[in-house]
Structure 1
Amino acid sequence: MTRKISFRDYAIVACGTMIPELNYLKETGFLDAQIIYTAPGLHQVPAELEVQLQRQLKAAKQTAKKIIVVYGGKYCYINTRDSYRTIDTVIDEVREDGYYIARTDVENCLDMLADGRERDNLADGQKVWFCTPGWLKYRDMVFKGWDKANANENFPQYTGGGIMLDPIGFFDEYALDHVEEILAFSDWASIPLEARAVGLERLKEVLISALSEEDRTSRAHQQ
């Protein structure tokens, strides 16, 4: 018998950048949980990230006793005023007895879709700018406040161009109706952008690893 995992007792609080992938997992039946999103691109505005993340965590606690926070730990939240304040500090401030809250054990959204070794293989020795579908779909929010000068300061260093880690066939479908937008983004960034299929197994395992020990143990014994 195929092993089955359920998230029905959980609420997911996630960065809006991950909407394409998480909604796909929900629509295809893997992720049977309520998903509450913060706005995409809040890594640029840590104060607003704190406000939205804590607000959504409080909302999630109204519907579930177990919560998974789909955020990275190293790059998604950087407090330049207080280097000791991390995203886990922000989460801990709304913890309370009787609730299980776990954060995905990854560095950022890229790490949710492909680990460092896979990204190195895709880069093939080149300096590559990696992104996910959400970075393109919500680019107005992800790059809010950026102008051409900001783009010129950041993107040209990626001499290997840009690679979208695409586990859901987003790029080809998006290009059917938005090819001009993709070309405009590449022109703005001054690098070409292509997609590479990476599959969903990495993201699924990241989510499963965030389950409570009891639920992981139960899954391991299901055959």
Structure 2
Amino acid sequence: MANPDFSNTAIVACGTLSPELKHLQAEGFLNAGKIVYTTPGLHQNCPELERQLTEAVKRVEDDYDKVIVIYGGKYCYVNAADPTRTMAKIIDELGPKVVRVQATHCMDMVASEAERDELAGGEKVWWMTPGWVKYRHKVFEGWDKGIANENFPRHTGGARVLDGVGLCEQYLNEQPEEILDYSDWMGIPLMGVPVTLDRFKKLLTDALEQ
């Protein structure tokens, strides 16, 4: 079966998902006309997330038939100052050309909640994607060891990276000290979980056809 045609589509994505998108480009699945990345870790800075997202969409919307936004709907944008302002509202305001992949956050784009529950085997797990490893210092900008101790140790199943691009294996082979240091900072074991990108491909295809 032929791959879907994204050539008349622009993608605006959180930089945290750049490893997956670049992998899909390299394997020939994703021929997007243009991909624009926002800074990884902006879920911690809603005003800046909205600013970069809006600016990126405005930059590409005139040149393409559709713009697909790759951000989660439930967890990537939580505006404490204005709880009624949601990611769905922002996307709606950006106009009819703009659609968003239907997932709650980047982990959900790679593995569904049911799949994550099965992989967790009843344990409480801190899920991540490869971008959380590659862009660790941006994703956890402002976190010190004290904040880490408040958040991570209660995850008895450790930290697990839903790795569809082989990044964890690469790190373990080439720079294992990075993984060991990350695990030590979190205070829990960190391991890669090999997955396919089939779910991500389907979400992208569904958004294209929306």
Class of the TM-score when normalised by the shorter of the 2 chains:
over 0.9
Provide the residue aligned with 2:84 in structure 1: 84
Task: Mark the runs of 5 or more structure 1 residues left unpaired by the alignment.
Answer: 214-223
- Name the aligned partner's letter for residue 58 of structure 2: K
SS at match of 1:67: strand
Q: Does 1:112 align with 2:109?
A: yes
Q: Which residue of 2 aligns with 1:147?
A: 144
How many residue pairs were aligned?
A: 209
- Is the contact between residue 75 and residue 107 of structure 1 (CA under 8 Å) also seen in structure 2? yes
2: CA distance between counterparts of 1:4 and 1:90?
30
Which secondary structure state, in structure 2, belongs to the residue aligned with residue 211 of structure 1?
helix
- TM-score if structure 2 supplies the norm length? 0.96
Q: Which residue of 2 aligns with 1:16?
A: 15
Matching residue's letter, 1:28: E
In the TM superposition, residue 90 of structure 1 has moved relative to its aligned partner by 1.9
1:31 corresponds to 2:24: no
Which residue of the other structure, out of 174, 177, 181, is the alignment partner of 1:180?
177
Deviation at residue 181 of structure 1 after TM alignment: 1.1
- Distance (Å, rounded) in 2 between the aligned partners of 1:42 and 1:179: 27
Which residue does the alignment assign to 1:221? none
Contact kept? 1:127, 1:160, Cα under 8 Å: yes
The separation in 2 between residues aligned to 1:212 and 1:122, in whole angstroms, is 30
**1:147-181 Cα deviation digits (max 9, x unpaired):** 00000000011011111101111110122222111
Which of the numbers 149, 154, 158 marks the counterpart of 2:155?
158
Contact 1:12 1:67 (C-alpha < 8 Å) held by counterparts:
yes
Q: What is the alpha-carbon distance in structure 1 between the residues aligned to residue 21 and residue 136 of structure 2?
A: 18
Tell me if 1:209 matches 2:209: no
Q: Cα offset for 1:25?
A: 0.4
Which of the two has higher C-alpha Rg? 1
Other structure's SS at 1:82 match: coil
Aligned residue for 1:126? 123
d(CA) in 1 for partners of 2:155 and 2:145? Answer: 16
Give secondary structure in 2 for the equivalent of 1:35.
strand
TM-aligned CA deviation for residue 91 of structure 1: 2.4
Q: In 2, Cα distance between the equivalents of 1:94 and 1:130? A: 30
Q: Does structure 1 residue 57 correspond to structure 2 residue 57?
A: yes
Q: How many Å separate the matches in 2 of 1:201 and 1:62?
A: 30
Unaligned 5+ segments in structure 2 are none
Paired residue type of 1:138: Y
Q: Determine the C-alpha separation between the residues in 2 that align with 1:170 and 1:63.
A: 33
Alpha-carbon separation, structure 2, partners of 1:183 and 1:4: 39
Q: What SS does structure 1 have at the residue aligned with 2:208? A: coil
Q: TM-score, normalised by structure 1?
A: 0.91
The CA deviation at 1:93 is 2.7
Q: Which 10-residue stretch deviates more, 133-142 or 79-88? A: 79-88
